[in-house]
Amino acid sequence: MTNPEENASNIKSEIDELEASMNDASFWDDKEKAGRIIKRIKELKEKQEGVSTLDKGNAVMTLLAGAGGDDSEDFARMLFEMYDAYFKRKGFSYTILHENKNDHNGFRNLTIEIDGKGVYGLLKNESGVHRLVRISPFNANAKRHTSFAMVEVLPIIPVTERIPISPDEIRIETSKSSGPGGQNVNKRETAVRVVHIPTNISVHVATERQQDQNKQKALEILQAKLYKLEEEKRKAEIEGRQISKTTEIEWGNQIRSYVLHPYKMVKDHRTNFETSSVEAVLEKGELDDFISAEQKL
């Protein structure tokens, strides 16, 4: 998934350039053009403030296994453990909002909320398809296997910036929670799934003991998904292209590859940054160089 926000430094550069043009003696000769420039400056400053606020806030991360059963679901687990190690190194904390595990402790999907200074700003470019190449531990013939998993990182949207949603546009479903909490949790329908009917975007939260708490958290994440969708639409409009409704979790869409066989390498395909220290990345969460390179995109 591509990053929808305009680069903060590019926004500042355009503001500076447009404001400098206002000092030209002929600026007001073409009043229509001048009006467009002033409007653009206003839009950029609003976007600059929004980007600045969101890049400093918390984030929600979802890991979704691609097709491939146990191998892809195990890869989702590996990615979670990689990010877990990274969070510990950074002093971040997180809460599991929803998880769907298989019998081998792999994840079909997992959603967590991450708390820490500048979390979204650091992690937003981790969004996209990740690819793993290794000898499959689930294949009796020890054949090399390629697995895919999707990472989605969303900002926690401040209340003042949230998009108003009509109750008619939302469908709320409840179910019994299978998460931690013991028998009292499992007896009641505390898990909540919120569906935004116009876009068919859905959010599932089952972490809290109270249904209403899960509902509020699900609505909060829905706001983040709608924000991301609007940003993608705006970027697509600027670039003169159609927005992709889905990103296939498959070959050709990957942003980063983790190769364990026949050689060892982790490579980001957007920045071309790579390292042969695969264990340091996957087991110790040493992602700083990758993230630093991504922030320059």
- What is the rounded CA–CA span in Å between residue 211 and residue 226? 22
Answer positive or negative: Cα dihedral of 202, 206, 212, 218. Answer: negative
Asked if CATH classification 3.90.25.10 holds for the domain at 166-239, the reply, yes or no, is no
Q: Which CATH code fits 55-159+248-294?
A: 3.30.70.1660
Phi, psi of 13 (to 5 degrees): -65, -40
pLDDT in tens, the chain (297 residues): 334 344 667 888 888 899 899 888 898 999 899 989 988 887 787 666 556 667 878 999 999 999 888 999 999 999 999 999 999 999 999 999 999 999 999 999 999 999 999 999 899 999 999 999 999 999 888 889 999 999 999 999 887 778 888 999 999 999 887 644 444 444 568 899 999 999 999 999 988 788 999 999 999 999 999 988 887 887 777 666 666 655 667 666 899 999 999 999 999 999 999 999 999 999 999 999 999 999 887
| pTM of structure | 0.76
pLDDT for position 293: 94
Residues 6+ apart with CB under 8 A from 258: 78, 130, 131, 132, 133, 266, 278, 281, 282
Q: Which residue has the tokens 């705006």?
A: 234
pLDDT for position 4: 37
| 256 within 8 A of 268, measured Cβ to Cβ | yes
| 108 within 8 A of 81, measured Cβ to Cβ | no
Domain boundaries defined on the chain: 8-54, 55-159+248-294, 166-239
